[in-house]
């Protein structure tokens, strides 16, 4: 029998202690991904530390700097519908509601969303090679069926994409991930949290064994007026993004004073190119300007056959998302691209 | 109280409460005592041999009872014929664990039996199978050079080869003023019924088994098990009282049945084997197909030549057939025709019929090329169909038993508002979206298979009808109850239909939209026989007021026997039983199609679908916003369950057009999206409000009930209607299904 130890911890310190001492131990929060991976014979935890009852991680609070702190154990659905989030960070709300299903969003936690693993077909099949699953075994996707795979930042070892919608918005909003571990606390800028595959595709992020995500800070921002989350996928609900775009602006009159654009479904992490955002600064909201930014964001993109379409599609999606950001009230959360 | 006729009434599903409350028990829900659990091990290579199997770690695990492999499988039936089920295509049936040869990826290679499911599944991770791999071919388009004519076999009469060529296609097509040609690729699809394939075998001792199985044919599986394991037919009972969808996947006994019975007989224990979702991709499927069509017309819009060449995938061991290139000539007259159907053997499991097999695939191609040709002719697509409308079957020159397709066109077009359509592609805009309207024709055969039914007037004066047929979720129980109640003049509350049990009188299997025609006709025949028997008894009763009454004046209604226009002569069913000394009346009767009469006719159900899509002008994303299907399928016994059948078909048609595809990796030779997260079927957000119209079609020839079946017809027109709507919206013809939105950017 596939036996394992299970223990509930109610403080961050005791949870860290339980996991940092044991390499085969894992935290259990919403369980929406780890249980799947386990059933598929892809994860083999010998000890599960249930952290769901750590009350300190289950709240959303306003910070002194006018930002918001999202507890790591707050459910995705509760986050999306939280009045503070809806008012100040509607982009995040929209992105969360574009992901998964209502049932999954009710179970999945914010911390867990950051730590979910790729849905690459080959990663999910224990009977085929995959360097993310078995380092060094190779990547069958590169010459295989790679319609869903990465066009940016991939390596010869892995072309998987990171599947989250929520994280695309968090990247655009320049969130900070607060973690605590045996060595103390760290505050990781969102762009440094997830990794590109490089030579170590088995590592999705920079979290160390025993470290726990405690919260995610959203800095004070003014992206609540001009924002859009556009998700393109093979069906209108309950499918991972082939390309998604989080776009947000701060405007001075009809001029862009600050722009944020992040892509999902195209890389091993949410894809942001700050130089492209700089390009838009002081410019008007024209298709030409959005296209300029899109070209900059997509420079260096490489198609692998089935996924070649993602490059032109991403460009169109960026332009559309930027246009949508100017009229956010037209957007329908979760549904197809807004009119 | 007057019993109202039930045929034609929207009676709600009789077993609905059981299904929605969870008390309906499916094959894996029989929690018998001392049950063992089997877990199937699947091959991880595509082609080659098993060199060795190391079972030591598995057997060392506490709770593991036994592992079955080709090395320790008991010797069983020798001849292929003994493994051939009623739906077996020509070739050599796959015999699980018979040898060390691997024929396809996912082939069952072992069964681990343990005291609980979790142990069996965990044990599977400890099994070490060493393979020797050989090169393989799994992609149809890369192996068209291997295409050959299908072998003939038992199933050939049901799936005949395409009609012989007529006229001179090449000449007619060559000189035609209006012509078009196109090639259509379809990928693999898997049925994925909600209920996983499962078998619970209850060991009754002395070579006797009671088997709860997920199947569309209880007797088919009973015969298979008895033949393979050398058991007496009467000692094998296969039950399937509830089936959670099957769509063709249950037409043949699947390997979990074989493995479960093997373990039960060997261990003399009760055993259950359940497949996981991933393993639902380890047997039959809708095959990959490539169809090339060339159609031409004269300037008046009459078709002059039709050529349909189809190639389908099959396995290396069986020739799975479906009807692809025969349909256009059953619909449209053209003097010059050329039809071809070939198979390409690949290293995959044998395909199996999947809802509207062949029909939905072929009609996509036919109705898309018809649309294309209509545009070449500058004709409205519907007018083009009407111009080529044929009251007779052009391929056989025989009249149809009935054909109300014109009514489908008219009613569907009216409901949809087709006359408002601007024919110009990409002419209608709605914000960022292009709006497109497409239509297509659907056709499906109207089968009837022989079936036997028992009818009993019981001691407590209820009517029982018995037949081995299943109810795979279509509403068979409800429909048969309606038919029986009306025929016997009894209230539906007093009717019991016993089904889903191989002990019941013969039924072939529930496929091809044939069950209402087959079992329904047998029930009618049995009840008529029962009435005869009762009338005979009534007439023989002492001082019977019925004695001199001609038989045709004696009627059964309101739970009694009476005489037309003679209210004074009446005997209730209760009194009837009393007069029979408290004994029941029982008959069985076999019924089949009236072959002699039907030889002179062609038979088919028809439909027309109208679809509206909206396509984002920049992003290509496709949304079906409206769909109407009008169906002519003879008499509709139950408009409610029939409508559900059509709606389900329409959703599946949209799915086939836009979503569904099992992806095969050509380098690995295996399906890689074998789960419902990545094997996309439509979500609610993908499906609009849909309308179903049933045309009035009175068919007095086809069978006693005048029914044609509604299981498949609703699907056949939809994929082409969607593709044609996408063309109308964008001006782009995407001929490969599913239509991924990125093909439109």
**What's the pLDDT at B2?**
79
Cβ atoms of residues B295 and B333 within 8 Å: no
Residue range A89-111: average pLDDT?
Answer: 96
If asked whether residues A306 and A248 sit together in one domain, one would say: yes
**DSSP-assigned states of every residue in A259-324:** EEEEEESSSSS-EE-HHHHHHHTT-B--HHHHHHHHHHHTTT----STTTTHHHHHHHHHHHHHHH
Summarize the confidence of residues A81-91 as an average pLDDT: 95
Percent of chain A with pLDDT over 90: 91
All residues of chain B having their beta carbon less than 8 Å from the beta carbon of residue A336 are 616, 621, 623, 685
Q: Is the pLDDT of residue A337 over 90?
A: no
Q: Are A290 and A323 in contact (CB under 8 A)?
A: yes
Sheet bearing B336-345, strands edge to edge: B178-186, B289-297, B303-314, B336-345
Say what the pLDDT of residue A338 is. Answer: 47
Q: Give yes or no: residues A63 and A195 share one domain.
A: yes
Which of B620, B665, B740 shows the shortest C-beta gap to A140?
B665
Question: Nearest CA of chain B to the CA of A30: how many Å?
Answer: 18
- Kindly state whether residues A35 and A82 are assigned to the same domain: no
Does residue A187 sit within a domain? yes
Q: What residues are paired with B697 via a beta bridge?
A: none
How much is the pLDDT for A339? 39
Q: Is A311 on the interface with B (CB under 8 A)?
A: no
Q: Are residues A111 and A212 in the same domain?
A: yes
Q: Do A236 and B686 touch (CB under 8 A)?
A: yes
Q: Are residues B433 and A339, on separate chains, in Cβ contact within 8 Å?
A: yes
State pLDDT tens for residues B287-319.
Answer: 999 999 999 999 999 999 999 999 999 999 999
Instruction: With cut-offs at 50, 70 and 90, classify the pLDDT of residue B668.
Output: very high
Report the C-alpha gap between A104 and B112 in whole angstroms.
33
Provide the shortest C-alpha distance from residue A13 to chain B (in Å).
33
Chain A nearest C-alpha distance from B126 (Å): 11
Which chain A residues are Cβ-neighbours of B674 within 8 angstroms?
125
Residue-wise pLDDT for B576-627, tens only, equals 999 999 999 999 999 999 999 999 999 999 999 999 999 999 999 999 999 9
Furthest CA-CA distance within chain B: 87
Smallest CA-to-CA distance from A109 within A77, A137, A141, A84 is with A77
* Helix, strand, coil percentages in chain A from 3-state DSSP, rounded to 5: 30, 20, 50
Q: Which domains does chain B have, with CATH numbers?
A: 27-135+193-276 (3.90.1170.50), 144-189+285-447+599-744 (3.30.365.10), 449-592 (3.30.365.10)
Contact A237 B686 (CB under 8 A): yes
User: pLDDT by residue (tens digit) across B443-452?
Assistant: 999 999 999 9
- Residue B431 and residue A339: Cβ atoms within 8 Å? yes
> B219 CB contacts (<8 Å, ≥6 apart)?
B238, B468, B502, B506, B507, B508, B509
Report the pLDDT averaged over residues B379-402: 98
Q: B11: pLDDT confidence band, cut at 50, 70 and 90?
A: very high
Of the candidates A121, A312, A336, which has its C-beta nearest B623's C-beta? Answer: A336
β strands within B240-287, DSSP E: 270-274
Compute CA distances A96 → A265, B8, B211, whole Å: 15, 48, 47
Interface check A89 vs B, CB under 8 A = no
Residues A236 and A214 in one domain: no
Which pLDDT value is given to residue B567? 84
User: Is residue A152 a part of any domain in this protein?
Assistant: no
Alpha-carbon gap: B359 to the closest alpha carbon of chain A (Å): 25
Integer Cα distance of B351 and B321 in angstroms? 9
Tell me the C-alpha distance between B609 and B718, whole Å.
6
Q: Is residue A82 domain-shared with residue A203, that is, in the same domain? A: yes
DSSP B395-442: TTTEEBS---HHHHHHHHHHHHTGGG---STT-EEETTEEEEEEEEEE
Tell me if A186 is assigned to some domain: yes
Asked if the Cβ–Cβ distance from A242 to B119 is below 8 Å, we say no
Q: What is the distance between the alpha carbons of residues A248 and A293, in angstroms, rounded to a whole number? A: 13
Write the CATH number for A91: 3.30.465.10
Q: Which of A121, A140, A147 lies closest to B667 in CB terms?
A: A140
Among candidate residues B129, B128, B145, B148, the one with its CA nearest the CA of residue B137: B145
CA distance linking residue B426 with residue B141, whole number of Å: 32
Please tell me whether residues A245 and A315 are part of one structural domain. yes
Instruction: Look at phi and psi of residue A66 and say left if phi exceeds 0, alpha if psi is from -120 to 50, else beta.
Output: left
- How far apart are the C-alpha atoms of B526 and B586, rounded to whole Å? 9
Under the banding of pLDDT at 50, 70 and 90, the label for residue B76 is confident
Task: State how far the Cα of B621 lies from the Cα of B97, in Å rounded to an integer.
Answer: 46
Q: How many domains, in total, are found in chain A?
A: 3
Same domain for A282 and A185: no
More confident residue, B156 or B629: B629
A333 and chain B in contact, CB less than 8 A: no
Are A60 and A189 contained in the same domain? yes
User: Is A1's CB within 8 Å of B659's CB?
Assistant: no
CB A140 to CB B44 under 8 A?
no
Q: Which chain A residues are closer than 8 Å to B680 by Cβ?
A: 234-235, 239
- On the question of pLDDT at B493 being above 60, the answer is yes
Do A144 and B667 make contact, defined as CB atoms within 8 angstroms? yes
Nearest CA in chain B to A127: B44
If 0-12 CB within 10 Å is exposed, 13-18 middle and 19+ buried, where does residue B109 land?
buried
Which value, in Å, is the radius of gyration of the alpha carbons in chain A? Answer: 19
Read off the pLDDT band of B79 (50, 70, 90): confident
Check whether the bond before B48 is cis (ω within 30° of 0). Answer: no
For chain A, the first-to-last Cα distance in angstroms comes to 53
Q: Tell me the mean pLDDT in the region B483-487.
A: 98
Q: Give the DSSP letter of residue B694.
A: E
- Residue A222: its pLDDT value, please? 78
Residue A210 lies in a domain: yes
A144-154 mean pLDDT: 98
Full domain range(s) for residue A312: 226-327
CATH number of the domain at A35, please: 3.30.43.10
Q: Is the same domain home to A314 and A181?
A: no
The answer to whether the CB atoms of B430 and A127 lie below 8 A apart is no
Interchain pair B673, A144: CB under 8 A: no
> Residues B114, B115, B121, CA angle at the centre, nearest 5°?
45
| Any B CB within 8 A of A234 CB | yes
pLDDT at B125 over 80: yes
Q: Could you report the per-residue pLDDT of A278-328, keeping only the tens digit for each?
A: 999 999 999 999 999 999 999 999 999 999 999 999 999 999 999 999 988
A337 and chain B in contact, CB less than 8 A: yes
Residue pLDDT, tens place only, B152-172 = 988 888 899 999 999 999 999
Chain A: residue nearest B654 by CA? A235
Region B523-542 average pLDDT? 96
For chain B, the average pLDDT equals 96
For residue A75, pLDDT beyond 80 = yes
Residues A205, A72 share a domain: yes
Within-domain flag for A280: yes
Q: Does residue A332 fall inside a structural domain?
A: no
Asked which of A171-175, A266-270, B203-207, B299-303 is least confident by mean pLDDT, the reply is B203-207
Is residue A17 domain-resident? Answer: yes
| Whether residues A93 and A196 fall in one domain | yes
Say if the Cβ atoms of A140 and B668 lie within 8 Å.
yes
* pLDDT cut 70: percent of chain A above it: 97
Q: Cα(B648)–Cα(A175) distance, rounded to whole angstroms?
A: 45
User: According to the model, what pLDDT value does residue B154 have?
Assistant: 82
Per residue in A11-59, pLDDT tens? 999 999 999 888 889 999 999 999 999 988 899 899 999 999 999 999 9
Q: Do B618 and A312 touch (CB under 8 A)?
A: no
Contact state of A121 with B672 under an 8 Å Cβ cutoff? yes
* Residue A185 maps to a domain: yes
Selection from B43, B39, B28, B106 nearest residue B68 by Cα: B39
Interface of B with A (CB under 8 A): 44, 61-63, 118-119, 121-122, 125, 430-433, 616, 618-621, 623, 658-659, 663-668, 670, 672-675, 677-678, 680, 682-686, 740-743, 745
């Amino acid at each position: 029998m596939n036996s394992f130890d299970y223990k509930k911890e109610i403080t961050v310190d005791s949870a860290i202690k339980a996991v940092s001492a044991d390499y085969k131990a894992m935290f259990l929060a919403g369980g929406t991904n780890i249980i799947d991976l386990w059933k598929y014979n892809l994860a083999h935890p010998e000890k599960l530390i249930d952290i769901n009852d750590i009350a300190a991680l289950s709240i959303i609070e306003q910070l002194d700097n006018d930002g918001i702190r999202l507890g790591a154990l707050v459910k995705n659905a509760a986050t999306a519908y939280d009045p503070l989030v809806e008012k100040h960070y509607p982009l995040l709300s929209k992105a969360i509601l574009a992901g998964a299903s209502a049932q999954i969003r009710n179970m999945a936690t914010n911390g867990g969303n950051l730590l979910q693993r790729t849905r690459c077909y080959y990663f999910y099949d224990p009977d085929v090679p995959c360097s993310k699953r078995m380092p060094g075994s190779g990547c069958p996707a590169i010459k295989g069926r790679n319609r869903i795979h990465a066009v940016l930042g991939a390596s010869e070892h892995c072309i998987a994409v990171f599947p989250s919608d929520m994280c695309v918005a968090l990247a655009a909003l320049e969130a900070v991930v607060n973690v605590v571990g045996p060595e103390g606390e760290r505050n990781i800028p969102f762009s440094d949290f997830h990794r590109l595959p490089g030579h170590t595709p088995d590592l999705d992020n920079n979290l160390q064994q025993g470290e726990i995500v405690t919260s995610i800070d959203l800095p004070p921002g003014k992206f609540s007026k001009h924002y859009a989350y556009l998700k393109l996928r093979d069906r209108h609900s309950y499918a991972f993004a082939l390309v998604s775009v989080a776009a947000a602006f701060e405007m001075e009159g009809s001029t862009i004073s600050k722009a944020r654009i992040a892509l999902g479904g195209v890389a091993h992490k949410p894809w942001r190119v700050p130089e492209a955002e700089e390009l838009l600064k002081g410019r008007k909201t024209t298709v030409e300007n959005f296209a300029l930014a899109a070209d900059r964001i997509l420079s260096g993109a490489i198609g692998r056959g089935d996924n070649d379409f993602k490059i032109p599609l991403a460009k169109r999606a960026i332009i559309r998302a930027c246009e949508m950001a100017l009229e956010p009230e037209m957007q329908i959360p979760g549904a197809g691209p807004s009119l | 109280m007057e019993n109202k006729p039930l045929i034609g009434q929207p009676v709600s599903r009789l077993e609905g409460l059981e299904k929605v409350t969870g008390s309906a028990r499916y094959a894996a829900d029989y929690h018998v005592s001392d049950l063992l659990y089997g877990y199937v091990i699947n091959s991880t290579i595509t082609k080659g041999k098993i060199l060795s199997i190391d079972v030591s770690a598995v057997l060392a695990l506490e709770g593991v009872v036994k592992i079955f492999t080709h090395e320790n499988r008991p010797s069983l039936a020798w001849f292929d014929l003994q493994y051939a089920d009623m739906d077996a295509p020509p070739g050599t049936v796959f015999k699980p664990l018979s040898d060390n040869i691997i024929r396809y990826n996912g082939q069952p290679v072992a069964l681990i039996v343990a005291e609980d499911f979790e142990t069996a599944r965990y044990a599977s991770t400890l099994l070490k199978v060493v393979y020797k791999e050989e090169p393989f071919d799994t992609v149809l388009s890369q192996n068209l050079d291997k295409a050959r004519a299908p072998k003939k076999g038992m199933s050939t009469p049901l799936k005949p080869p395409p009609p012989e060529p007529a006229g001179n296609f090449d000449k007619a097509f060559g000189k035609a003023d209006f012509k078009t040609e196109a090639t259509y690729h379809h990928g693999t699809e898997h049925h994925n019924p909600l209920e996983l394939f499962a078998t619970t075998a209850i060991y009754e001792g002395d070579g006797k088994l009671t088997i709860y199985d997920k199947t569309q044919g209880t007797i088919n599986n009973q015969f298979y098990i008895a033949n393979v394991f050398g058991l007496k037919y009467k000692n094998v009972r296969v039950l399937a009282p509830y089936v959670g969808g099957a769509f063709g996947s249950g037409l043949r006994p699947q390997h979990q049945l074989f493995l479960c019975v093997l373990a039960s007989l060997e261990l003399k224990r009760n055993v259950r084997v359940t497949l996981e979702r991933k393993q639902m991709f380890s047997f039959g499927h809708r095959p990959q197909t490539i169809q090339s069509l060339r159609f031409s017309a004269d300037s008046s819009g009459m078709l002059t030549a039709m050529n349909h060449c189809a190639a389908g995938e099959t396995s290396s061991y069986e020739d799975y057939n479906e009807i692809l290139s025969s349909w256009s000539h059953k619909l449209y007259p053209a003097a010059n025709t050329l039809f071809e159907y070939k198979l390409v053997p690949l290293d995959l499991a044998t395909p199996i019929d999947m809802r509207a097999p062949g029909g939905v695939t072929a009609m996509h191609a036919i109705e898309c090329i018809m649309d294309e040709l209509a545009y070449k002719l500058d004709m409205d697509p519907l007018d083009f169909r009407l111009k080529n409308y044929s009251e007779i079957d052009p391929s056989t020159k025989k009249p149809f038993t009935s054909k109300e397709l014109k009514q489908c066109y008219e009613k569907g077009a009216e409901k949809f508002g087709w006359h408002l359509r601007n024919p110009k592609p990409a002419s209608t805009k709605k914000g960022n979206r292009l709006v497109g309207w497409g239509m297509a024709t659907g056709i499906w055969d109207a089968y009837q298979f022989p079936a036997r039914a028992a009818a009993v007037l019981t001691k407590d004066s209820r009517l029982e009808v018995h037949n081995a047929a299943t109810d795979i979720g279509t509403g068979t129980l409800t429909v048969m109850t309606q038919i029986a109640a009306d025929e016997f003049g009894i209230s539906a509350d007093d009717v019991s239909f016993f089904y889903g049990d191989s002990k019941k009188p013969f039924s072939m299997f529930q496929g091809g939209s044939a069950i209402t025609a087959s079992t329904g006709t047998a029930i009618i025949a049995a009840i008529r026989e029962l009435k005869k028997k009762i009338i005979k008894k009534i007439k023989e009763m002492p001082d019977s007021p019925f004695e001199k009454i001609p038989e045709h004046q004696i009627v059964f209604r309101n739970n009694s026997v009476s005489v037309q226009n003679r209210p004074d002569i009446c005997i209730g069913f209760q009194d009837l039983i009393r007069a029979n000394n408290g004994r029941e009346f029982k008959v069985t009767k076999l019924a089949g199609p009236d072959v002699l009469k039907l030889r002179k006719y062609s038979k088919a159900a028809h439909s027309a679908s109208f679809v509206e899509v909206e396509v984002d002008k920049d992003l290509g994303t496709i949304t079906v916003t409206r769909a109407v299907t009008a169906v002519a399928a003879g008499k509709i016994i139950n408009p409610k369950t029939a409508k559900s059948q059509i709606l389900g078909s329409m959703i599946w048609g949209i799915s086939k057009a836009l979503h569904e595809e099992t992806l095969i990796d050509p380098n690995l030779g295996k399906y890689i999206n074998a789960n419902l997260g990545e094997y996309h079927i439509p979500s609610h957000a993908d499906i609009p409000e849909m309308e179903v119209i049933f045309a009035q079609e009175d068919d007095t020839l086809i069978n006693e009930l005048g029914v044609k079946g509604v299981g498949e017809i609703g699907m056949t027109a939809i994929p082409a209607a969607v593709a044609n709507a996408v063309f109308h919206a964008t001006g782009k013809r995407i001929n490969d299904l599913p239509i991924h939105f990125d093909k439109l950017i």
